[in-house]
């Protein structure tokens, strides 16, 4: 809600928007059409804000009961209508359309502004009027710049428009940082928590209360979960929350010092989240739940971080994923980092008490292959370096206040109805996979680790057309009787069970990774080849586009995250052959999330190690041995040059069993032991794993 002086400004903005909608100006029709369309959108935002305001003026649960589900559905339809795939060709949020109307310079700016205005939708439903006001005033300022130019008989200047947006971002960096950090650590931001705990979750109409885009997918999911017996819901929630608790136990971290947990989930899973919240509260943790949304102040690509509904148009998000290129410079990076520091300082006690995220992911949506548009913004080389600097320093600030060595996490995934007619069968099988015998896999994986601990290198080779041939260099153990090279990963922070992993020695790790098709961060990569030299990406290729430059830019933007190269932060061998079988049996291998897919073969992570920011925390496998390989040559720089120690990214590339010819452990004397051959485990005692590969 707003202060009185802000309410007065808000009313003035509403009057101006009504004036833009209701009167004719001497602007050329192309400008009038643009401003009327965006003013109409903003008037609907204001309507939604005012309709939801009583919910925020009282914490009484009955305030939700006074909302009309029909009215909420109507508002949702109006707010998202123009960016839906079927309407996007004529949307000003589409840079291709807007550039066709105004030319490249002005068109891209107008499209960026239209996208930024859509970030008001979350604020309307969450009662954050101040952040709506900021964007109303930006829109009116842009309108006035164009109006003044036209009155002078001129075309508006792109530089003037750019300056307006630049100072908007700079001036409000402090407000947006306070919002961002507060959402991360302050349990009083309880809009979603109140929906989960107070509303009737047996009636899927509650979904419209969020202000997210809702489709049959979310409604069917919510209805399906409402039909399940309580013990099945409890099993899902207990697996989720108990994995989180065990993550603290296995890493020797003190959960009793923490007060809050961040819960991230897709809409429709509220029945499970409600029980999980009750479980977390028994651990002494209050939920902090924030929405996934994007603006010039917080970048999100098609992959969502927070709670979220259906994505109305993934291309829309992809088109605007580099909008900051309009304004990004060194001064703005410094300003944003200063604002973030101040925001953490203002919330330092709550940040210290934050325990980390508990994440629920989904799979089964249609794979997205983006179109790369010349009309969209892209970062210059200098801006790419600034973006890397900003991400690195933001990550370091977050770790300073929410200490990596004291926090943990857990991640679990379930399918959604859009996966197809076998949804219920896939859901049941996923639930079984998520609750496989912890101790059985622990024993099987220990046998693999015992073999790998005798090796100095591991070689991985593809079969058939797969060109993979890479040798991974392993750390030496000073005390093999008490130390181990690989972590025995079962179902705690990383659900489901099924991998052993290590931080490779970079020097001496060489070769080629190849996979015919893989989904990374919700984006599809075809015929991906990555060549590795001394642990770093040396070159890469893929065949998504006919234009090789577009292929290179796609990988640079979405895997390297604008770094010139990245190291291999993790090498792992997945053992969850049952998950692999599920993918094959239901023909959904391409739809499995990386959380499950990484367990269905060996995988290599580009970026930070799995122990990022917590390398000095001593951790042990269930057999009592210390996991020694927590560092690599890059993470060790934290002791001498901290700015170069972390990349703040970690992307797993998995090679499926059926593309594998060989995994062998190579000893220092030149002898070797085969772990997997021709897509099957050949190490003694692995019959339980092979039965799902037969």
**Looking at residue 624, what is its pLDDT?**
92
**Looking at residue 300, what is its pLDDT?**
63
Residue with tokens 């601990």: 453
**Looking at residue 298, what is its pLDDT?**
84
**Looking at residue 617, what is its pLDDT?**
86
Residue with tokens 């998995």: 654
CA atoms within 13 A on the CB side of 196: 25
Residue with tokens 């859009």: 418
**Looking at residue 562, what is its pLDDT?**
87
**Looking at residue 275, what is its pLDDT?**
98
pTM listed for this prediction? 0.90
**Looking at residue 302, what is its pLDDT?**
58
Angle subtended by helix axes 104-118 and 129-151, to nearest 10 = 160
CB neighbour list of residue 600: distance below 8 Å, 6 or more residues apart: 574, 576, 577, 579, 580, 583, 589, 592, 654, 656, 657
Helix (H, G, I), strand (E, B) or coil at 131: helix
Residue 57, preceding bond cis, omega within 30 degrees?
no
**Looking at residue 88, what is its pLDDT?**
98
For residue 494, what are its two tokens? 């990383």
Q: Sketch the domain layout of the chain as residue ranges.
A: 4-171, 182-204+215-410, 436-690
**What parts of the chain have a pLDDT lower than 50?**
none
**Looking at residue 53, what is its pLDDT?**
94
Per-residue exposure over 334-359, b if at least 16 CB sit within 10 Å of its own CB, e if not: ebbbebbbebbeebeebbebbbbbbb
**Looking at residue 301, what is its pLDDT?**
64
d(CA 658, CA 128): 51
């Amino acid at each position: 809600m707003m202060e009185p002086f802000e309410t007065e400004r808000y009313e003035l903005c509403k009057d101006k928007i009504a004036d833009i909608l209701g009167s004719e100006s001497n602007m050329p029709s192309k400008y009038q059409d643009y401003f009327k369309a965006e003013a109409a959108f903003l008037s609907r935002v204001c309507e939604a804000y005012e309709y939801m305001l009583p919910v925020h003026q009282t914490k009484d649960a009955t305030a939700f009961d006074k909302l009309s589900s029909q009215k909420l559905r109507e508002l949702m339809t109006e707010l998202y209508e123009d960016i839906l795939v079927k309407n996007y060709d004529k949307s000003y949020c589409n840079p291709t359309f807007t550039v066709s109307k105004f030319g490249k310079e002005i068109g891209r700016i107008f499209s960026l502004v239209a996208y930024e205005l859509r970030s008001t939708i979350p604020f309307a439903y969450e009662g954050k009027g101040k952040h709506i006001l900021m964007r109303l005033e930006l829109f009116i300022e842009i309108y006035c710049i164009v109006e003044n130019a036209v009155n002078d008989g001129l075309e508006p200047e792109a530089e003037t428009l750019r300056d307006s947006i630049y100072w908007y971002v700079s001036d409000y960096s402090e407000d947006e940082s306070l919002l961002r950090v507060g959402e991360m650590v302050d349990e009083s931001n309880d809009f979603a928590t109140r929906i989960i705990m107070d509303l009737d979750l047996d009636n899927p109409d509650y979904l419209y209360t969020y202000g997210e885009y809702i489709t049959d997918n979310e409604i069917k999911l919510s209805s399906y979960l409402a039909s399940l017996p309580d013990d099945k819901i409890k099993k899902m929630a207990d697996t989720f929350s108990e994995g989180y608790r065990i993550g603290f136990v296995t890493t020797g971290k003190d959960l009793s010092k923490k007060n809050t947990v961040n819960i991230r989930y897709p809409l429709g899973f509220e029945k499970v989240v409600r029980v999980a919240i009750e479980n977390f509260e028994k651990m002494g943790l209050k939920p902090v739940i924030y929405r996934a949304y994007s603006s010039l102040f917080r970048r999100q690509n098609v992959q969502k971080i927070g709670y979220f509904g259906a994505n109305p148009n993934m291309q829309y998000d992809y088109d605007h994923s580099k909008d900051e290129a309009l304004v990004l410079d060194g001064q703005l990076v410094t300003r944003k980092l200063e604002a973030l520091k101040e925001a953490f300082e203002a919330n330092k006690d709550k940040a210290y008490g934050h325990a980390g995220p508990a994440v629920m992911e989904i799979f089964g949506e249609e794979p997205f292959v983006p179109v790369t548009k010349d009309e969209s913004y892209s970062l210059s080389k200098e801006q790419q370096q600034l973006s890397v600097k900003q991400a690195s320093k933001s990550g370091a600030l977050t770790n300073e206040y929410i200490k990596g060595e004291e926090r943990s996490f857990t991640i679990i995934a379930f399918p959604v109805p859009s996966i197809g007619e076998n949804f219920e069968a896939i859901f049941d099988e996923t639930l079984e996979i998520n609750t496989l015998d912890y101790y059985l896999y622990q024993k099987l994986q220990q046998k693999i680790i015992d073999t790998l601990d005798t090796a100095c290198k591991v070689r991985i080779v593809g079969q058939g057309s797969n060109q993979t041939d890479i040798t991974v260099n392993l750390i030496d153990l000073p005390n093999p009787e008490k130390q181990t090279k690989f972590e025995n990963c079962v179902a705690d922070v990383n659900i489901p069970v099924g991998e052993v992993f290590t931080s490779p020695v970079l020097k001496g790790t060489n070769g080629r990774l190849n996979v015919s098709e893989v989904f990374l961060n919700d984006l599809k990569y075809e015929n991906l080849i990555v060549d590795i030299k001394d642990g770093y990406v040396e070159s890469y290729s893929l065949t998504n586009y006919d234009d090789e430059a577009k292929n290179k830019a796609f990988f640079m933007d979405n895997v390297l995250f604008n770094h010139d190269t990245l190291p291999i932060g993790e090498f792992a061998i997945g053992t969850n052959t049952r998950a692999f079988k599920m993918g094959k049996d239901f023909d959904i291998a391409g739809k499995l999330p990386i959380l499950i897919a990484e367990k269905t073969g060996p995988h290599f992570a580009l970026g930070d190690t799995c122990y990022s920011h917590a390398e000095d925390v001593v951790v042990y496998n269930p057999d009592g041995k210390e996991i020694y390989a927590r560092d690599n040559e890059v993470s060790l720089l934290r002791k001498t040059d901290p700015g170069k120690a972390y990349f703040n990214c970690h992307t797993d590339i998995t090679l499926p069993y059926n593309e594998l010819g060989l995994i062998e452990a190579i000893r220092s004397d030149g002898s070797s032991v085969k772990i997997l051959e021709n897509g099957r485990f050949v190490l003694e005692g692995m019959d339980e794993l092979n039965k799902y590969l037969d």
